[in-house]
Copies of this chain bind each other. A is one copy, B any other.
Amino acid sequence: MYLTQPLHKAYRERPGLLALVCGERRQTFGDLYGKVRRVAGMLQEMGVGPNDRVGMLSVNSDHYIEYLYGTWWAGAVVNPVNIRWSAREVAYSLDDCDTQVLLVDDTFVELAREVQGLSSSLKTLVYVGHGTSPEGMLDYHALVAAARPAADAMRQGSDLAAVMYTGGTTGLPKGVMLTHGNLYTGQLGAIAGATRPDNAIGLHAAPMFHVGGIGLVLQLMLRLCPQIVLPGFDEVAILQAIHTERASETFLVPTMLKRVIEHPRFDEFDISSLSLVLYGAAPVDEALLERAMQALPQASFIQLYGMTELSPVITALPAWCHEPEHRTFGKLRSAGRPTPVAEVRIVDADDLELPVGEVGEIAARGPMVMAGYWNKPEQTAEALRNGWMHTGDGGYMDADGFIYVVDRIKDMIVTGGENVYSAEVENAILRMPQVSMCAVVGVPHEKWGESVHAVVVLREGATLTSDQVIEHCRTLIAGYKCPRSIDFRDALPVSAAGKILKYQLREPFWKGRSRRIN
């Protein structure tokens, strides 16, 4: 199992077929094959050896895909940098796994300079932009043009392919180590888990530094399908690309999906070619899904669920579950069934398996489970205890084997023996037009163990009392789920990726106490 295999195949089977479209640039699979060999040659000529890490700090582009495959072809390991991070965070992630070479596009030249000042490992910056190469940076295009094509290093199986940094909501980012075998089987499982149309043309809207973005790149390459690359998410650009390039398949997170179908110019474009919408990476609300299916009646929908540590997909909700004649089967609220390569079980805090319908932690086993966290043997052992990857997600399995994700385990509240899912309470509070943001956490309570506490940010000029919020919740959810206390604030602490840092909200309440999770 070697991630470079599709290039070998493409070179023989479809050298003349369009592989990548990025703005005005187009390349065939034959072109890409030649390019990747020279990118690998460039990396080797600058001293990158087997298993060395190579980073990239860039918006999406055709060069990002060249970087991924070029690094693998050279025998090295990709470290795709989170473009939403600060210089300090980027430097941490480079230093943590000793990444000495970083590719940078036009967008991040300044950030890269800052990173260089902070990082102890970074030695070489390669400019993958389209202007003049900034001082102190090597020129990607000149080097690639001059490089000798390398032979494929043929790294495979348990050889490391990627270190992907995640986290930040609970502490320092962790480098998830994914092998060639992990990413290879993960994508095959995702494809086999939910039937895809043949002869697709893929469209990238999600960022490629994220495992979801890389997953789509790999899945389309495994199927030898052309890929249209947009620099980032933009509703009109997406609609335009479908219209112009006849894209047939894309991956959208729910907020992207919402923004596309609600865009005022939606009707201006011919998007009849779009036959498959993959969605996931965040919970979708059923009303949005309904609207999307109405807005895109020619398209099938497939939900994917997973996480970086799982390469990344472990469940798929297939297209047929979305079809009107199967809707009474009632699985639209689920994240789907485990893919053919993934075992899923639900466990309690003692890692004992729970029966159908009971909420616990979602755990997964299979060839797509990460090799571990870079240089973090204890956190690795904890996450992979008893041979299963513990996702930190709370959920349950129904009698038909469908998985339902209810909350992050650590955000679940146990009050008087009842489980309360913070997401459910937050959704209730967010229905009040006065509320801009909110976060619900468990705080210690003498009698009930925990009680439900909400932190609410109001829209500018709006006013609300605690009683009004609690009264509103009572009309929507059971009494024990309603907040017992409300804290109004001007803002919530959020991570660079925009996730609310609930542990910071909980901290002052739990000082000196230990909170049992799950």
Contact = CB atoms under 8 A, between A and B. Distances in A.
Contact of A197 (B1, B6, B157, B195): B195
A338 interface: yes
A343 B12 CA distance: 9
Contacts of A5: 341, 343, 366
Nearest to A8: B343
A401 B14 contact: yes
Contacts of A232: none
Contacts of A244: none
Interface of A: 1, 5-6, 8-9, 12-14, 16, 157, 181, 184-185, 188-189, 191-192, 195-199, 222-224, 318-320, 337-338, 340-345, 365-367, 397, 399-401
Given A191-B192, A343-B5, A345-B12, A320 B198 contact: yes
B340 A223 contact: yes
Given A185-B188, A188-B340, A192-B192, 18 more contacts: A1-B185, A5-B341, A5-B343, A9-B342, A9-B401, A12-B344, A12-B401, A13-B338, A13-B401, A16-B399, A157-B157, A184-B367, A188-B188, A191-B340, A195-B195, A198-B320, A199-B320, A223-B340
Contact of A367 (B1, B6, B198): B1
Nearest to A403: B13
Contacts of A8: 343, 365
Given A199-B320, A320-B199, A366-B5, A341 B188 contact: yes
Nearest to A16: B399
B400 A14 contact: yes
A9 B197 contact: no
A94 to B, nearest CB: 32
A397 B367 contact: no
Contacts of A401: 9, 12-14, 224
A222 B188 CA distance: 12
Contacts of A400: 13-14
Contact of A397 (B12, B197, B319): B12
Contact of A198 (B157, B318, B338, B397): B318
Nearest to A344: B12
> Top 10 closest A-B pairs, CB basis?
A13-B401, A222-B340, A188-B188, A191-B192, A1-B367, A14-B401, A8-B343, A198-B320, A192-B192, A9-B343
A224 B319 CA distance: 17
Contacts of A337: 13
Contacts of A367: 1, 184
Nearest to A12: B345
A192 B185 contact: no
Nearest to A340: B222
A202 B14 CA distance: 33
B192 A222 contact: yes
Contacts of A195: 195-198
A123 to B, nearest CB: 34
Contacts of A198: 195, 318-320
Contact of A338 (B9, B197, B199, B340): B9
A188 B195 CA distance: 12
Contacts of A16: 399
Interface centre among A198, A223, A345 (most CB of B within 10 A): A198
B340 A6 contact: yes
A367 to B, nearest CB: 5
B13 A397 contact: yes
A318 B197 CA distance: 11
A12 B365 CA distance: 13
Nearest to A7: B343
A365 B16 CA distance: 22
B199 A192 contact: no
A222 B191 CA distance: 13
A195 B199 CA distance: 11
A195 B192 CA distance: 8
A319 B197 CA distance: 11
A223 to B, nearest CB: 6
Interface centre among A14, A188, A222, A337 (most CB of B within 10 A): A188
14 contacts: A1-B341, A5-B366, A8-B365, A13-B344, A13-B397, A13-B400, A157-B157, A184-B367, A185-B188, A188-B188, A188-B189, A188-B341, A191-B192, A198-B318
Contacts of A197: 195
A193 to B, nearest CB: 9
Contacts of A181: 1
Nearest to A319: B198
A154 to B, nearest CB: 9
